[in-house]
């Protein structure tokens, strides 16, 4: 099944938005923008009966413990025009383990009308076009804080054209890459916070309604015997207080973070301020290079070749420990390589060339990196390889890289790169590594998830990317390794533990080699998920498989080697290609939509 998709230019998007928001009329405050969209939607969208795909938002997936993205099929029972929402009835899911309420109130921009409709009399073409315009506006133009905008200012005049221009500049990579990545990160976090706030506020309002109902019931039944105390102890009043205070605290933190993002983004929204920001960043880099190594500044300006450089970063420690680290570094540095001492890993990542090696000491190295790693560079820990994988070692005594805040991704790789003898602490990010292109080699690395999220991924491989893992451990993720179409992976002595899904093969073109027969899936809910498999019985949605050799029979050219499973609820699950909800190309587009948003938006 396929869905409506559109590719439009900046001028087309601007013209459409102006038409909806009555550009030539009187000044329009922010509070009136939503009303204009309501009026437009009422004229364009069929009120009921059309079929669509619902891409469930991340916040709901997290709350319901679903993998992300989860896409389900159904029909619209009723459009709620005043709220730009719809009552959506779920009729089909890809995974039978997904349990959802039959009827759900969802945002219109989360729906993708299908090309095939049971009722051909419906004008679904116009409906799909309208939802596309609405989705673009609320995904790329309207900001979460705009609803609080002063009513005495013309929102359309001040923001509409500039915001659409910014969205298209981001899609065309017209901004400096560090600045573009920083702005995309801010936008993605702001929209996620907005969804989380709406979800928490709805949850709190439901809880208050239940409390009111209980109070009425208590007044009506004053002669009834007292209720049984909770097993956890304490009075019901104190327990209810604790439960209600947690969301309030979350709301305060989210509102504060959103205010910080707003203040920063409103500065960067101005083209002149963006230019000044980029110049300051560039000048700061040059000053840093001048202070560290005067000769390198002239090399940067003249863009001439320079000798290979290796950066050494150590955390504060005793003199003898520093000497021991230098001796170990001496064994790792390549011949004829200059060595430069760095203050922090973040500083080194900001000034180093993409093809340079970085050696880091044991200890915590916090980063907020807004560039891509590529061009045969590397980050290596100054420690023996065996120490990283052994779980008995204290994390504080290992070379550990973590994020400075809740970034969406810890590391983005878009070329050949190597990570070795490292612990990647992914407990505060949604994704550990996003491999966009090239070959990523991991040797003796350990990736740690939070063990709670149903959406957190350790490694995601985009089309044409290649992954090589040697002596690695991945644990406590929702998904260990996710392989999309046209990707390849070689795994040798890799342990994947305590994941919801250890490894997922989302397309028959994904190539997997399990070398040495020593890869192991331990205590996973599902060891391997294989999607789009040509199962012999075309009526089966999925097939449970015990051994990798049995899965190989369905794709002998691409899936090679063998592995073991220990204490997994299911070893392997293969989904039938004839039972796919979405057409292959559409499924890939929706699957990659959010990942593309971190580097390039889907705007032409």
Query: CA 482, CA 432: separation in Å to the nearest integer?
Result: 11
Boundary (domain end) residue, out of 254, 270, 285 = 285
Residue 74 is assigned to a structural domain of this protein: yes
Classify residue 18 by its DSSP letter.
H
| pLDDT > 50? residue 604 | no
Give the tens place of pLDDT for each residue, 459-468.
Answer: 999 999 999 9
Residue 564 is assigned to a structural domain of this protein: yes
Does residue 138 share a domain with residue 270? no
Question: What are the structure tokens assigned to 352, written together?
Answer: 């180093």
Query: CA 449, CA 477: separation in Å to the nearest integer?
Result: 5
Does residue 565 share a domain with residue 424? yes
Which tops the pLDDT comparison, 291 or 182? 182
Largest interatomic CA distance in the chain: 89
Residue 375: predicted pLDDT: 82
Residue 234 is assigned to a structural domain of this protein: no
Residue 216 is assigned to a structural domain of this protein: no
Rounded to the nearest 5°, which phi and psi values hold at 104? Answer: -140, 140
Boundary (domain end) residue, out of 172, 187, 218 = 172
Query: CA 99, CA 69: separation in Å to the nearest integer?
Result: 15
The DSSP result for 74-137, as a single string, is EEEEEEEGGGTEEEEEEEEESSTT----SEEEEEGGGEEEBS--S-TTS-HHHHHHHHHHHHHI
Does residue 394 share a domain with residue 260? no
Residue 348 is assigned to a structural domain of this protein: no
Give the domain CATH number at 548. Answer: 2.160.20
Q: How confident is the model at residue 81 (pLDDT cuts 50, 70, 90)?
A: very high
Show the CA angle centred on residue 253, arms to residues 252 and 256, nearest 5°.
85
Cβ contact 88:76 at 8 Å: yes
Q: For the chain, what is the total number of helices (H) and then of strands (E)? A: 15, 27
> What average pLDDT does range 52-74 have in this prediction?
89
Q: Which one of 162-166, 392-396, 405-409 scores highest in mean pLDDT?
A: 162-166
Does residue 259 share a domain with residue 146? no
Going from the C-alpha of 400 to that of each of 315, 406, 484, the distances in angstroms are 11, 16, 28
Please give the residue range of the domain that contains residue 185: 175-206+246-285
- Give the β-pairing of 431-437 and 457-461: parallel
Does residue 100 share a domain with residue 193? no
Does residue 399 share a domain with residue 253? no
Q: Cα torsion for 422, 428, 430, 436, to the nearest 10°?
A: -30
- CA neighbours within 13 Å on the CB side: how many for 446? 22
Does residue 364 share a domain with residue 272? no
Q: What share of the chain is helix, strand, coil (3-state, %, to 5)?
A: 40, 25, 35
Burial class (CB in 10 A: 0-12, 13-18, 19+), 371: middle
Residue 130: predicted pLDDT: 94
| pLDDT > 60? residue 92 | yes
> What average pLDDT does range 24-38 have in this prediction?
83
Of the listed ranges 93-97, 307-311, 434-438, the least confidently predicted one is: 93-97
Residue 185 is assigned to a structural domain of this protein: yes
Residue 218: predicted pLDDT: 54
Residue 394: predicted pLDDT: 83
Does residue 183 share a domain with residue 160? no
Does residue 126 share a domain with residue 168? yes
β-strand partners of 520: 495, 564
| pLDDT > 60? residue 288 | no
> What average pLDDT does range 382-403 have in this prediction?
87
Q: How confident is the model at residue 227 (pLDDT cuts 50, 70, 90)?
A: very low
Q: How confident is the model at residue 602 (pLDDT cuts 50, 70, 90)?
A: very low
How many domains are contained in the chain?
3
Going from the C-alpha of 556 to that of each of 44, 505, 508, 510, 549, the distances in angstroms are 50, 14, 11, 12, 9
Q: How confident is the model at residue 235 (pLDDT cuts 50, 70, 90)?
A: very low
Q: Cα torsion for 203, 208, 214, 220, to the nearest 10°?
A: -150
pTM: 0.82
Give the tens place of pLDDT for each residue, 298-346.
Answer: 544 444 345 678 999 999 989 999 999 999 999 989 888 889 999 899 8
Q: Cα torsion for 415, 421, 427, 433, to the nearest 10°?
A: 10
Does residue 408 share a domain with residue 513? yes
Does residue 468 share a domain with residue 434? yes
| pLDDT > 60? residue 430 | yes
Which tops the pLDDT comparison, 179 or 286? 179
| Residue length of the chain | 604
> What average pLDDT does range 377-392 have in this prediction?
88
Boundary (domain end) residue, out of 129, 152, 172 = 172
Cβ contact 313:348 at 8 Å: yes
Residue 214 is assigned to a structural domain of this protein: no
Residue 222 is assigned to a structural domain of this protein: no
- Residues 394, 398, 404, 408, CA torsion sign: negative
- Mean pLDDT of all residues belonging to the chain: 83
Does residue 180 share a domain with residue 168? no
Question: What are the structure tokens assigned to 46, written together?
Answer: 């069929």
Cβ contact 519:560 at 8 Å: no
């Amino acid at each position: 099944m396929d869905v409506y998709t559109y590719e439009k230019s900046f001028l087309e998007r601007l013209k459409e938005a102006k038409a909806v928001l009555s550009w030539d009329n009187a000044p329009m405050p922010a509070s009136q923008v939503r009303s204009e969209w309501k009026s437009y939607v009422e004229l364009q969208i069929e009120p009921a009966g059309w079929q669509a795909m619902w891409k469930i938002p991340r916040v709901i997936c997290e709350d319901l413990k679903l993998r992300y993205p989860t896409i389900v099929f159904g029909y619209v029972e009723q459009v709620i025009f005043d709220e730009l929402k719809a009552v959506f009835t779920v009729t089909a899911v890809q995974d039978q383990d997904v349990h959802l309420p039959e009827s759900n109130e969802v945002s219109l921009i989360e729906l993708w009308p299908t090309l095939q409709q049971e009722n051909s009399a419906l004008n679904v073409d116009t409906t799909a076009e309208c939802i596309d315009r609405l989705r673009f506006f609320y995904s790329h133009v309207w900001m979460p804080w705009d609803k609080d905008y002063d009513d005495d200012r013309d929102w359309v005049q001040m923001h509409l054209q500039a915001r659409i221009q910014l969205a298209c500049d981001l899609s065309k990579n017209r901004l400096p890459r560090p600045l573009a990545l920083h702005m995309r990160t801010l936008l993605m976090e702001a929209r996620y916070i907005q969804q989380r706030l709406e979800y928490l506020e709805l949850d709190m309002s439901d809880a208050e309604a239940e409390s009111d109902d209980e109070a009425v019931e208590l007044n009506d039944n004053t002669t009834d015997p007292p209720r049984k105390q909770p097993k956890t102890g304490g009075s019901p009043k104190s327990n209810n207080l604790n439960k209600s205070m947690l969301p309030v605290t979350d709301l305060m933190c989210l509102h504060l973070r959103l205010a910080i993002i707003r203040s920063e983004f409103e500065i960067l929204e101005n083209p002149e301020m963006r230019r000044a920001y980029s110049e300051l960043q560039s000048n700061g880099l040059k000053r840093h290079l001048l202070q560290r190594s005067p000769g390198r500044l002239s090399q940067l300006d003249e863009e001439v070749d320079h000798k290979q450089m290796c950066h050494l970063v150590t955390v504060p420690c005793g003199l003898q420990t520093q000497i021991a680290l230098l001796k170990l570094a001496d064994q790792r540095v390549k011949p004829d390589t200059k060595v430069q001492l760095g203050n922090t890993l973040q500083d080194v990542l900001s000034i180093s060339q993409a093809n340079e090696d970085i050696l880091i000491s044991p200890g915590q190295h916090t980063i907020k990196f807004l560039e891509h790693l590529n061009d045969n560079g590397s980050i290596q820990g100054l420690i023996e390889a065996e120490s990283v994988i052994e779980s008995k070692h204290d994390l504080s005594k290992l070379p550990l890289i973590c994020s400075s805040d809740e970034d969406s991704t810890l590391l983005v790789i878009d070329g050949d790169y190597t990570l070795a003898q490292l612990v990647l602490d992914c407990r505060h990010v949604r994704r550990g590594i996003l491999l966009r292109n090239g070959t990523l080699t991991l040797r003796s690395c350990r990736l740690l998830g939070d063990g709670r999220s149903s959406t957190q991924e350790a490694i995601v491989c985009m089309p044409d990317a290649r992954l090589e893992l040697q002596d690695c451990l991945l644990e406590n993720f929702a998904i260990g390794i996710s392989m999309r179409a046209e990707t390849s992976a070689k795994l040798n002595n890799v342990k994947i533990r305590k994941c919801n899904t250890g490894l997922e093969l989302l397309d028959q073109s994904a190539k997997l080699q399990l070398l040495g027969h020593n890869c192991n899936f331990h205590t996973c809910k599902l060891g391997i998920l294989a999607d789009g498999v040509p199962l012999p019985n075309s009526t089966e949605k999925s097939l449970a498989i015990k051994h990798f050799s049995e899965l190989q029979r369905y794709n002998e050219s691409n899936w090679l080697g063998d592995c073991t499973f220990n204490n997994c609820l299911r070893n392997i699950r293969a989904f039938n290609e004839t039972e796919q909800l979405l057409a292959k190309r559409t499924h890939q587009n929706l699957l990659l939509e959010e990942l593309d948003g971190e580097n390039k938006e889907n705007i032409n």
